[in-house]
A and B are shown apart, each in its own frame.
Chain A
């Protein structure tokens, strides 16, 4: 193989992303994953990599409102998209109670799966204000946690849902 065939010598391309409400133009490697662009180019390191193959959900972000594993999204597919990451959720007052609930009920231990878990919980609570335990289990089944056995995460989401219903 000669060097000019290597991926490294492929010219970079420009993509435009609206991330957490802010429009940004970034020069990226054409096969870069959305995850890498968020973490490296945009320095939004709250989105984590756990497996790189869409199994663990640690890299979850919202892409045009849909919850996706950003490790499976080629950045070129996200050109022009609206993205929300954990950093954006953290600035959104609506979800502070959910984050507090994770702290209060022991839903975060080592914390590496937590941003993804919170995004998956946000995705659920946007659709259902009054989820059953089985709904929560189903909604979080794409996010792996190795610390908690999920019990306290389920509790944190259920409590947050209850508190949000009471407020509204």
Chain B
């Protein structure tokens, strides 16, 4: 009924980033840029020991303690818990210490220099208990450090019957693969500013992905209702999962100090503290046992997947679930058994990081399939081609693929763009006479977008769109701009839904006091799930304006703005709220791990070209091709930017980023010795978006690029030096040992 808008569609166009000018001019306000009159600073005193009974806290001489606000577990007005899933993590350690970075005492003072002195003068007396530090010690129950058996979560996925397949196999191939911890390393460290008192309740401003997660945690700690806890997102300098759950802890700490002191409190982690104390990617170990027919067809996959969750359950159960579902990859196999476990250790809890379990299990699979190919006597590409999922086939969870995906076509395209075959030949030639060896390798994978299974239904996200008195349309959502482009793509989607200009759309600052709970900014869900709600809510505004006779079909952008002004002047606020409805065809069995794990998947084939210097044992990526089907691309420049950034993090995961542990603590907690790729390290990253005729709307792309680089790079290194490598990060010293062993 509404004719096509005279404006060109903004979706698909590289429109300017909504907050771009503020960012390039230094005007954007991040949490550490905020200041309030009378504001003082907070600091955290940590346990220092990995596992212990907490006996007493004492305060050393020489510090004017009477000037300090001091908070311990006894000062918590509500529950001493950081509410998330199992609620096992205390806000401040009270009787037991379960990792060496556990917060025990909080201090606040107007002078930051003095605070640092004071932190060193707090003595925490403990009776040490024996800790466990890794997967083997935890699974072996060297000590029971969590629950009855150290198991934070167990999942079991069964499709067909693997036990009957082994006897029919021409080949049975086994392998074991490991991935290390990885730091998100957002360039803005975590931090919060809080105001709190009994009359006003609690307000925090900070760096975060999920304002409503923080609100939920504060409500429990302060025993306050939602309307007395307000959480506001400041401009946020990167998240990548690292600002999903941990900000709740910092918010609670800042607010406790504000509550007790009666003053606004700023609590910002410096880099060393952020690296040592906050969450990292779960270390993992995956064992594969695979039955294959003579022609290379997969008969059975038996997969044992274990992740190290650290001291508390936090998000490990969901990380494990996603890792499990992605463990069998984009392949058709009649019999699949996956047993997966998240185990507790006495390290700081591991947490959300782009990919959320999938990069770990996909690394194992894409390395293992190269081994399977070698055993069967096929090329890595031919083995995959014979097993790729196609439309109508079922994934490991029995989810039938409805879309016409063309993984073989994507593989061909990626190999062609990277000149894979030609380089295979020329590198083999080159490697005969050179001390640096070249290689090329690839990985094929998929990534499910949005919450797993019934997750989106349970979230029941709500988005609002309102008409403003100044004639703008304002989007009300709790989904945060953390660099990925939320503000811009939401504006594009709303402007297109209404046929109005881009500057007629505003995006409200995420603030639990004024935006509805549209769910967390995680799981590549913002564009695909929440973006669709933005469109529906926007249409609700139009419907009201048209229905009330203030807007006539065939309107221009200016007409729309005038109608908004007129409506608000005459009738007051106009707000349209929409809630997520799960499509009825989606069904998921959380116990058997069968059904529609995700509404949609993005598909990809990544190719890496590497060189290994046999003098220094450094490996370097020379070229990278990323081919993916992510459905509709709303903003081509930002989408490519997401892929490029994810690939760079994947290169770091594979080759540079080595968390060195000592008694459950990160030793290299500095940017000087925890190395991420620089502009001089990254290769050209060539991004190609492909679509099939029925690719549909956007499918989520934020996490996808984290999954493929590590296996593609290690497959390329295997091609270069002929050594089989089964662990990342792959440091020069590891390569030296490997090459020595060839």
Contacts and interface: CB of A to CB of B under 8 A. Distances in A.
Contact of B645 (A90, A105, A149): A149
A103 B24 contact: yes
Contacts of A106: 14, 17, 637-638, 640-641
A153 B685 CA distance: 13
Contact of A7 (B117, B187, B649, B671): B117
A111 B483 contact: yes
Given A53-B670, A110-B186, A110-B236, A148 B680 contact: no
B725 interface: no
A60 to B, nearest CB: 11
B190 to A, nearest CB: 12
B225 interface: no
Given A8-B111, A110-B482, A145-B187, A90 B25 contact: yes
B33 interface: yes
B113 A149 contact: no
B62 interface: yes
A55 to B, nearest CB: 4
B478 to A, nearest CB: 18
A143 B676 CA distance: 11
Contacts of A138: 679-680
Contacts of B21: 99, 103
A146 B238 contact: yes
A159 interface: no
Contacts of A49: 32, 189
B237 A51 contact: no
Interface string B110-136: 010110010001000000000000000
B645 A146 contact: yes
Interface string B23-38: 1111111101100000
A86 interface: yes
A109 B679 contact: no
Contact of A111 (B28, B113, B649, B680): B28
Interface string B583-604: 0000000000000000000000
Interface in A22-52: 29, 31, 39, 44-52
A50 B23 CA distance: 15
B271 interface: yes
Contact of A149 (B20, B29, B637, B647): B647
A168 interface: no
A47 B270 CA distance: 16
Contacts of A110: 186-188, 236-239, 482-483
Nearest to B638: A106
Given A52-B270, A146-B186, A109 B483 contact: yes
Contacts of A148: 641, 644-645, 648
A3 B20 contact: no
Given A111-B23, A150-B679, A53 B30 contact: no
Interface in B248-304: 270-271
A125 interface: no
B678 interface: yes
Contacts of B33: 39, 45
Contacts of B644: 148-152
Contacts of B189: 49-50
B interface SS class: loop
A163 to B, nearest CB: 15
A87 interface: yes
Nearest to A36: B112
Nearest to A29: B113
A50 to B, nearest CB: 5
A137 B680 contact: yes
Nearest to A134: B680
A146 B637 contact: no
A39 B98 CA distance: 37
Interface in B635-655: 637-638, 640-641, 644-649
Contact of A141 (B28, B238, B271, B678): B678
B685 A151 contact: yes
Contact of B20 (A102, A147, A150): A102
A70 interface: no
Interface string B479-513: 00011110000000000000000000000000000
Nearest to B23: A111
Contacts of B14: 104, 106
Given A2-B62, A137-B679, A148-B644, A112 B237 contact: yes
Given A148-B641, A152-B644, A143 B679 contact: yes
A90 B23 contact: no
Interface string A95-134: 0000110111111111111110010000000000000000
A154 interface: yes
B77 interface: no
Given A86-B25, A112-B30, A137-B679, A103 B20 contact: yes
A112 B679 contact: no
Interface in B644-700: 644-649, 670-672, 676-680, 682, 684-685
Nearest to A88: B26
Nearest to A46: B26
B640 A46 contact: no
A56 B679 contact: no
Given A47-B26, A111-B19, A111-B23, A53 B671 contact: yes
Contacts of B442: none
B101 interface: no
Given A85-B26, A86-B25, A152 B187 contact: no
Contacts of B485: 109
Given A45-B26, A106-B641, A149 B63 contact: no
A109 B61 CA distance: 47
Contact of B187 (A53, A58, A103): A58
A143 B719 CA distance: 33
Contacts of A147: 238, 483, 641, 645
B356 interface: no
B124 to A, nearest CB: 19
Given A51-B670, A53-B271, A111-B23, A146 B17 contact: no
Contacts of B684: 151
Interface of B: 14, 16-17, 19-30, 32-33, 61-64, 111, 113-114, 117, 121, 184-189, 235-240, 270-271, 482-485, 637-638, 640-641, 644-649, 670-672, 676-680, 682, 684-685
Given A110-B187, A118-B24, 14 more contacts: A6-B62, A29-B113, A31-B113, A39-B33, A48-B187, A55-B671, A55-B672, A56-B187, A100-B24, A137-B680, A146-B649, A149-B645, A151-B640, A151-B682
| 10 nearest A-B residue pairs (beta carbon) | A46-B26, A110-B483, A112-B237, A111-B23, A149-B648, A86-B26, A109-B483, A149-B644, A103-B20, A55-B671
13 contacts: A46-B27, A48-B188, A49-B32, A53-B670, A55-B670, A87-B25, A90-B26, A112-B188, A143-B679, A146-B185, A149-B641, A151-B682, A151-B685
Interface of A: 1-3, 5-8, 29, 31, 39, 44-53, 55-56, 58, 85-87, 90, 99-100, 102-115, 118, 136-138, 140-154
